[in-house]
Amino acid sequence: MRTLLWVVGVVAGVLVLLGLLLEAARWLMIIGLVALAAVIVLAFVKGRQSAHHYSSRH
């Protein structure tokens, strides 16, 4: 799961950079920002779940 988050995050970053470099393709930047936001939310949710599981064990 962590690898998937890394891959999506890198792809999102590349799309954002492409969007900045190619000003005509603004939709690339929008897609990249949406994907990046999704990765941040997923990472936050997964982090809270793992922290919750860890605290419930101890």
Domain map of the chain by residue range?
Answer: 15-48
pLDDT at 54: 67
Which residues, other chains included, contact 33 with Cβ-Cβ below 8 Å and sequence gap of 6+?
12, 16
Query: Are the C-beta atoms of 16 and 32 separated by less than 8 Å?
Result: yes
pLDDT at 28: 73
Q: What pTM did the predictor assign? A: 0.51
Burial 28-50 (b: 16+ CB within 10 A, else e): bbebbeebbeebeeebeeeeeee
The 10s digit of each residue's pLDDT in 30-55 is 888 999 999 999 999 988 887 777 66
Q: What percent of the chain is modeled with pLDDT above 90?
A: 17
Burial 6-20 (b: 16+ CB within 10 A, else e): eebbeebeebbeebe
In the predicted structure, residue 21 carries a pLDDT above the cut 90: no
Q: What is the mean pLDDT of the chain?
A: 82
